[in-house]
Structure formats: structure tokens, C-alpha cells
Structure 1
Amino acid sequence: MITLFEKKSIRILLTLILIFTLILLIHLTRFIFEPVAAYLTAIAVPIIGAGVIFYITNPIVNYLEKKKFPRIIGTFIVFILIALIITIIIQFVAPIVQKQFSNFFDSIPKMVKNAEQLVDMWQSNQNIIPPQLEDAMKNMLDNISNYAENITASIINIIAQVFSFVFSFLLIPFFLFFMLKDGHRFVPFISQFLSPNKARSFRTLTTNVNHTLASFIQGQFIVSLCVGFMLYIGYLIIDLDYPLFLALFGLIMNFIPFIGPYLSAVPAIIVGFFQDPILAVWASVVMLIAQQIESNFISPNVMGRALSLHPLTVITLILAAGGIAGFLGLLFIIPAYAVVKTIIAHFYHEWKKKQPEEDPDLI
């Protein structure tokens, strides 16, 4: 005879009630957690920044460790390499980018004026214009300056967030040093306080999460570098203005999955159109070629199907993250979602193992 509490539907209902009760209690006592949230917010950027660099550089430390180098020596070598790369960027790349960046923003008013003249010329040469189209064009002309200002403000806001992130590099090296030096000791340290079964489960979970993050960060870093390089070569070939600045913009945008590559093409097409209309076509061709090479050759070999995310899921997450957290939300929503998905899947499989063989499913 099956009692009421042995029914699966009742157990699920009680579990949901307990979860929502816990959420309500946390909400009612949120003042307790506000100092903790403030502390986590203060250290979030250094930890995330150090974590990203950790996953990019940790393979180098692991390789040196296999070659009998002490881990701390490998860590110092990585820091020397990072310092060398930063020095090269500051000495040779940054001045060119800064100059092209300034020239690009100085040319925005001229682009807006040319656009207004182009539309006026087209409008004056039309004998019959549908009223709806004429109203739409008039509205566009009235607001084109506002659109340009909004786009400029958005780009400046993104740059401000990037500079804020760069400022946190003052703390990032400290976090990164200990992550590279002692990161491999974290799992054994925690496991010693757990029972054998829970320690095994914890090791499996951390391995899966580590694999997920490493696959995304390392893969996206390599893919974005390749796309940025291909865009730069392509823009040089077609003689597009501001090639290095536009290629770096494309590199950064490529970190946003699915829609990033298309966002990166917008400023290049606009610059090409006002430089020479045919260059807008060639800029589109360069972007399409780079994306085809990336999606068909580079990404499958570098990233594979590590995250297994449906494109509709990616679009939904990006739209939500962009509205809630802005540009940084766009960058981090996909790996965050992948980690949460990995954790939930792990605990579900662990729960499933403990169920009777005749009743293994959740529903």
C-alpha cells in the first residue's frame, strides 16, 4: 500500500513548496545578505578577470609542470609572458588604435551630414513618393543625429566599462598568481572534509565545470583572435579606413556568441559606405568570408560541441542578459548558463542513481 507521501507527485509538490518557502525567507531577510552581496560585487571583477586569464594561461603552466618545471616557476614564466605581451601592445598597437579610434569618432558628424545630403538628394529626384515613406524618411532625418549620438554614447559606455574592467587589473595579478600556483590544490583540500561518496561526486562536478569553462574560454579566445586577424587582413586588402580599430572591435564582439559577428560588421559597413559605397559591399564580403571560415573550420576544431547550446537558447539568453546587465552580461551569460546547466545535470544524475531501479525518472 502506497502512502500519500510516497507518491512521486506529492514529493515533487512538497519539494517545490519548500524551495519557494526558502526563497521567500531569503527575500524577507535580504538585509542580512546585503553586506555579503556588496563584498562579492567588490571582488567579482578581479575574480572573474583572473579566472578568464587563468583558463587561458593554465595550459602553459601545466605543460611546463609536465616538463619538470616547478609550478611556481611556470607561474612566473606566464607572468613574464603576459608582461611582454602588454608591453608590445602598449608600444606598437595602442598608439595606432588610439589614432584610428579618434579619427573614427571625429568623422561621425561628417558621416551624419553626408547621410542627410544623400537622402535629400534622393528625395528631390523622386516625383512620386508614398506619404508613408515620406513621413518615415522625414522622421529618420529628424532623428538621425539622435541615433548617431545614441550609438556614440553606447560605444562610449562600452569603452567605459572596459576601462573600469582594466582598472581592476590592479587586483587581478594577485588573484591570478594564487590561482595558477595553488588552484590544483582546491579540490583535494575540500574533498578531505567529505565522505568518500560525496568526495567522488564533488571531484566529478568540479571536473565537469572546469571542462565546461575551459572549453568555452580557451576556445572563444582562440576563435576571436583568428577572426580579428582575418578581419584585419581583409580590411587591409580592400583598403578600408581604420582597419586595426575595426578589426579589434570585431575581435571583442566575437566573444558574444551568435550575434557578435554581425554586430562587428555594422561599423565596418558604415565606414566603407561613406568612404566608397562599393567598399560597404566588400566589407560585408570580408565579414562573411571570415565568419564562414570560423564557423566551418576553426570553431569545430577548437571548440567542437563543448557547450551543446541550441541557437534559440543562445539568442534568448543574450537578449535577457543585455537588458539586465548590459555589455558585460552579453559576455558572461553563456559560460554562466553552461556552468549552471552542468551543475544541475550533475545533481540530477546523482539523484537518479539513488532512485529505485523501477522508478528512476523525476516525473
Structure 2
Amino acid sequence: MALVEKRWFKVMIAIILFLLIVLLLNINKFLLVPVVVLLQTIFLPFVLAGILYYLCRPLVTFLVKQKCPKWLAVIAAYVAIILFVYGVVKLVAPAINDQLERFVANLPAMISTVMEWITYVQENRTTFPSFIQDAMLTASQDIESKLQENVGNIANGILGVFGVIGGFINIIFGLVLVPFILFYMLKDGHRFAPSVSVFFPRSKKENVLSILKDMDKTIATYIQGQMIVSLIVGILLLIGYLIIDLNYSLVLAVFGMFTNVIPFLGPYIAVIPALLVAVFQDPMLVLYVAIIMLVAQQIEGNIVSPNIMGKTLNIHPLTIIVLILTAGSLVGIVGVIFVIPLYSIVKVIVVNVVKIYRTA
């Protein structure tokens, strides 16, 4: 067999060509500016519409199986979304608003308590060991220097308000697009895979459809499962916080529900404000809050997630940690939220391509 016909040689050439394309694009970055702007504009509405699509698709599929016209099933999904939002606004929002108002009202007292602690420490710092005094002095000097360094950024921050306003207008415009994108996703989503497969040879069509089907299943499992799991975690936290009579229990439970979408780090982020509230309310509650969070995570990790999400993702915890830390450093919070589903999609593609390569 000639060298050019060997698989490893073809793979090596493909990698070299890919790296060459990346190098050329890096050299000619200006050519990508319109593409980057377009992606930034459509990213948010497509992501939101995609999440709603996977949440509404089971309802649409069920109604279609019951001989309901597709257009009527889509309208029913929109009605379900509207009723859900209305219910949240009428039932949950007032309670959250009331707790937030009480929190704002109590904030001066909490700040006063912190200032008293600081004053006490400053007045009695001579009673601490020398190494603690040195650490306190170094920390205060660092804070002072940081404040001085960032004074010059205030003007830039004021000027940046106009950029924030522009970004806010773009977000509003993007949110307006969501219902239209969602409509076509629900109406014509089943045509996506066949439309993509036509760009491949007939011999590869089945393989492409199989990969797209696995990707769709992975995304659907993650989004639908994550939403259900987060809701259950929020309910468990709310029940626990109400039992110990923790202040702002609903706000803290809702915060814990939303942070649960962040893999691995979510529970640690959720418990921080709960612990702070417990410290000011009653230091003994700190222990109870920690126990509640531990119990909720044990139930979620050992009972809820395995039964709802199964082993579709099947990602090792160490891999999750590495992915989150890397994505957080490169992209920020958006990367932390989306890195796991993106990795799962890439994993599905790689596994299927390797399987096809071995059987060819």
C-alpha cells in the first residue's frame, strides 16, 4: 500500500491542513470581525431559544402523538410558557421581593455589626500574636494600595456606562428574537438532521444521522435533567431553611437553585450567602445550614441525578473540575455554565467518528 493511501498519513495531512487554516485565520483576524459580531449578536437568543426548545419539545411531541396539529401543539407550548411565567410573577416574585426589601432594610444593621467587629479587632490587635498582627497590617496596606490604583478607573467606568447601555439594548433586541427562533425550532426542528446529512456522501448519511441523534439526546438529557435537578435542589433547600427558620429562606433557596446549574462549584457558591445570613441571625445556624446543604447534595448526587439524568453524560469528576477551571479562566462564568454540555457533544462526535473509523 502506498504511503499516501495509509490512514495515519491522511490523518496527519488533515491535522496539518487544519493547523495551517488556524494560522492563516490568526494572521488575518480582521476578516473574522463581522463573523464574531454576528455570533455575539445571535448567541444569547439562540441559546435561550434552544433551552426553551428542549423544555417544550416533550409537550409538543406528546400533543402531536395525540393527533393534535403541529401548529396547535406549538401554540400550546407558548401558552404553557406564558402561564408558567405568570405563575412565577404572581406567586413567587412578591415573596422574593418582600424578603429582598427586608434584607435591604436590615443591611445597615449588618454593616454596623461588621464595623463593630473590625473596630474590636483594631483596638485589640496588640493582644494577637505578632505574625497575626503582621498579616493584618499587610492586608490593610494591600487594600489601601488597591483602592489607590483603581481610583483612576472610575472615570473609565463612568464612560463605560454608555457601552453598558448599548449592550443592554442589544440584549433586549436579542430577547425579542427568542419567540420567533423558538417557533421555527419547534415547528421545523425535526428537519435539522436530514438537512445536515445531505451535505455528506450517501455512504456516510446513516453515520451522520446517528451522530446528530446522539448529540440531540445528550443535549436534551442535560438541559431537561439539569432543570429538574435544580428545581428539586431548590425545593430541598427551601424546606431545610424553613425548618430552621432562616431569614430570606426563599431568596436563598432560589439562589441555590440557579447556582446548581454550575457543575461541581454550584453548591459551594450557593451556601456562601446562606452561611453569611446564618452568622448574623444566629451563629448556631451556620452548622444547620451546612448540614442542610450537605444532605441536599447527597440526595441530589445519589438519588435525584442518577435517576433523572442517568449515565448519558458519564463524565469523571476530575474531568469536570479540569474543564470548569479551564473554561472559567478562558471565558468566565459563561464558559463554566456551558463547558460540560459542549464537552459532552464533542465526546459524542469523537466516539462516533472513532467507531466509524475502526469499522471502515
TM-score range, shorter-chain basis? 0.7 to 0.9
Tell me how far 1:230 sits from its aligned partner.
Answer: 1.0
Aligned pair 1:187/2:193, yes or no? yes
Deviates more, 1:27-36 or 1:255-264: 27-36
Partner of 1:132: 131
Take 1:4 and 1:351, find their aligned partners in 2: how far apart are those partners? Answer: 18
The question of 1:324 aligning with 2:354 is answered no
- The CA distance in 2 between the partners of 1:291 and 1:163, in whole Å, is 38
* The 10-residue stretch of structure 1 (7-16 or 247-256) with the greater mean CA deviation from structure 2: 7-16
Partner of 1:175: 181
DSSP-derived class of the 2:284 partner: helix
| 1:116–1:141 contact (8 Å) kept in structure 2 | no
Residues 295-316 of structure 1: CA deviation (Å, up to 9, x unaligned): 1110110012211111122112
Quickly say closer, same or farther: Cα 1:297–1:165, change in 2 above 3 A.
farther
| Partner residue in 1 for 2:44 | 45
Equivalent-residue separation in structure 1 for 2:8 and 2:299 (angstroms): 50
Q: 1:234 Cα shift? A: 1.2
- 2:169, 2:274 → 1: CA distance? 23
Measure, in 1, the Cα distance between the counterparts of 2:181 and 2:104: 36
The equivalent residue for 1:28 is 27
1:330-341 → structure 2 map (5 Å cutoff) = 330-341=336-347
- Please list, as runs of the form range in 1=range in 2, the aligned pairs for 1:34-73 lying within 5 A after superposition: 34-73=33-72
**Cross-structure match for 1:93:** 92
Q: Please list, as runs of the form range in 1=range in 2, the aligned pairs for 1:72-87 lying within 5 A after superposition.
A: 72-87=71-86
The letter for the 2-side match of 1:201 is N
Give the percent of matched residue pairs that are identical in Structure 1 and Structure 2. Answer: 38
Q: 1:307 aligns with which of 302, 308, 313?
A: 313
Q: Is the 8 A contact 1:112 1:144 kept in 2?
A: no
Look up the SS of the partner of 2:289 in the other structure: helix
Letter in 1 for 2:244: I
Structure 2 match to 1:358 = none
CA distance in 2, matches of 1:46, 1:141: 44
The residue aligned with 1:150 is none
Of the structure 1 ranges 134-143 and 174-183, higher mean CA displacement relative to structure 2 is found in 134-143
Q: Does 1:343 align with 2:342?
A: no
Deviation at 1:228, TM superposition (A): 0.6
Q: How does 1:193-208 map to 2 (within 5 A)?
A: 194-208=200-214
**What is the rounded CA distance, in whole Å, between the counterparts of 2:109 and 2:292 in structure 1?**
25
Distance 1:244 1:141 in 2: 36
Report the number of matched residues: 342
2:258 matches 1:252: yes
Query: Higher mean Cα deviation, 164-173 or 3-12?
Result: 3-12
Shift of 1:17: 2.3
CA contact (8 A) 1:318 1:333 kept: yes
Q: Is the 8 A contact 2:125 2:133 kept in 1?
A: no
- Taking the aligned partners of 1:237 and 1:111, their CA distance within structure 2 comes to 23
* Structure 2 residues not aligned, in runs of 5+: 148-164
* Matches of 2:112 and 2:137, distance apart in 1: 15
Indicate how the Cα distance of structure 1 residues 170 and 320 shifts in structure 2: closer, same or farther if over 3 A, else same.
same
What residue is the counterpart of 2:16 in the other structure?
17
State how far apart, in whole Å, the 1-side matches of 2:169 and 2:327 are. 20
CA contact (8 A) 2:211 2:349 kept: yes
Deviation at 1:205, TM superposition (A): 1.1
**What's the secondary structure of 1:257's corresponding residue?**
coil
* Whole-angstrom CA distance in 1 between matches of 2:47 and 2:251: 26
**Secondary structure of the structure 2 residue equivalent to 1:135:** helix
